Amino acid sequence: MSTNRRTFIAAALAAGLGGTARAQTPPPATGGALPPGLPQPTETIDLWPDGAPGMPDPPPVETVEERSTEAKLTDRAVLGISRPRMAIFRPRLSNGAGVMITPGGGYHHVVIDKEGYEIGRWLAARGYTVFVLFYRLPGEGWAAGPDVALSDAQRAMRLIRHKAIDYGVDPRRVGAMGFSAGGHVCADLATRFAANVYKAVDEADTLWARPYAAAPIYPVISMDPDIAHAGSRELLIGANAGPDLERAHSPDMNVPDNAPPCFLVHAEDDDVVPVENSVRFQEALRAHGISVEMHLFANGGHGFGLRKAFGKPVAIWPELFANWAHSQGLA
């Protein structure tokens, strides 16, 4: 850790790293009992001070579904998100880095536990301040259409940097991680961070939206019908979208020369999002001279996150990410 990072972390601690930020819209919840012993986020950051732009009429109604049949294992998903926001996991001892997580859900919903809070707890235990993003869904009538989730991701990254001192985060070292369709949001942010997809609302929007590093995990990447996840493609750009729209929303087709370094994980037996999505993205990044590390596993299927990876070779992926993040200077 450099002297500058030590100085930054000390300043953040002096400013009250352990304090509680003013809560805004609460995290999505079913209202039911939760398993004991698992920390749940209590802090949130609303993305849009005057409400999300381009609201449909009527507005979506936020609904949280519990899909687990086990009393001590939650598997919640939220849809109808009209107040996009981040839920925050603070570490006991900050390493000065932040990670914004975009969970999956096929652009039909946003997973809360499996690809959100579970990863948030794991990263926070290793010193990261984690921001789980509940982004708006493109099939729910927002004016921004297929750019609505990217709008939230850009805004979220800028807000994290704008509020960095409140959370003990070095604004230069904020990474992004996403899963499945949330991996598409992550990769879209890593490649189109400079795209003008919403009108600035305050001084936070003067800050850079480019993540320091990005980790799309078993991501939806290509809108090419041959390898696209059909459900995500239909909700994002429409089942009958033409080549121009496919290209515009395929991160592998939009890599700039200043994209951040990327970390990719995929299982070759993924029968939901074909592994070719990650392969194409790796090839595109390498073609532009962007540092990329990719790990392919023979077995693992789709959506393994942490809980479904136990006992399999793919279970090592979080440690591989941690080592890579350290090598990139994120941690």
Those residues whose C-beta lies under 8 Å from the C-beta of residue 67, and which sit 6 or more positions away, are: 75, 76, 77
Tokens 């996403």 label which residue?
A: 178
Of 105, 120, 64, 127, nearest to 218 by C-alpha is 105
Does residue 134 sit within a domain? yes
pLDDT score recorded for residue 22: 46
Range of the domain at 97: 3-28+38-327
Q: What is the pLDDT of residues 260-276, one digit of tens each?
A: 999 999 999 999 999 99
Does residue 33 sit within a domain? no
Q: What is the pLDDT of residues 27-39, one digit of tens each?
A: 999 888 888 889 9
Angle at 131 between CA 248 and CA 195, to 5 degrees: 25
Does residue 203 sit within a domain? yes
Does residue 115 sit within a domain? yes
Rounded to the nearest 10°, the torsion over CA 241, 247, 251, 253 is 160
**Distance (Å, rounded) from C-alpha 200 to C-alpha 182?**
23
Does residue 75 sit within a domain? yes
The answer to whether 85 touches 170, Cβ cutoff 8 Å, is no
Does residue 221 sit within a domain? yes
Residues of the chain with pLDDT under 50: 1-23
Looking at the 3D structure of the chain, how many domains does it have? Answer: 1
Q: The CATH number of the domain where 246 resides is what? A: 3.40.50.1820
- Helical packing angle, 148-162 and 181-191, nearest 10°: 70
The answer to whether 211 touches 259, Cβ cutoff 8 Å, is no
pLDDT score recorded for residue 203: 98
